[in-house]
Amino acid sequence: MVDWLYYSLLAVSFGSASLCLIAGMFSRKPSLVTLGSAVLTEVALIVQLVATVVLLVLGETSKGDVVEFFGYVLVAMMVPAGAVLWALAERNKFSTLVLAVSGLTVAIMTARMAQIWGLA
């Protein structure tokens, strides 16, 4: 796990959560902006997965269990995907709040990934 990628992923996920929370507080239905922020979080997680695989192939090691780390990455990738599917299926203000919760969940899971890797 790379430092700058970790901080970028935190910024993207907190930014997405903040944007969706504000939109949800104003009773906005999911829009291209809120859905796009969740998709951007998903893209950042995919970049994290690819970077981690490359680091492991190059000989980098984790301080914690690598299987647990990849478990966190894969589950974190499911969270925004599930939230986007929910928001597309049920378009109301609560779906926007689900998108916000998914951003916060990804941020927390990213912090735990950093602990497992040995960054934090």
- Number of domains composing the chain: 1
Looking at residue 64, what DSSP letter applies?
S
The answer for 118, left when phi > 0, alpha when psi is -120 to 50, beta otherwise, is left
For residue range 52-87, list pLDDT tens digits in order: 999 999 999 889 999 999 999 999 999 999 999 999
Average predicted confidence (pLDDT) for the chain: 95
Answer whether residue 119 shows pLDDT above 90: no
Q: Is 2 exposed, middle or buried (0-12, 13-18, 19+ CB in 10 A)?
A: middle
For residue 43, name the pLDDT band (cuts at 50, 70, 90).
very high
pTM (two decimals): 0.92
Q: For residue 30, give its domain range.
A: 3-117
Is 2 within 8 Å of 51 (Cβ atoms)?
Answer: yes
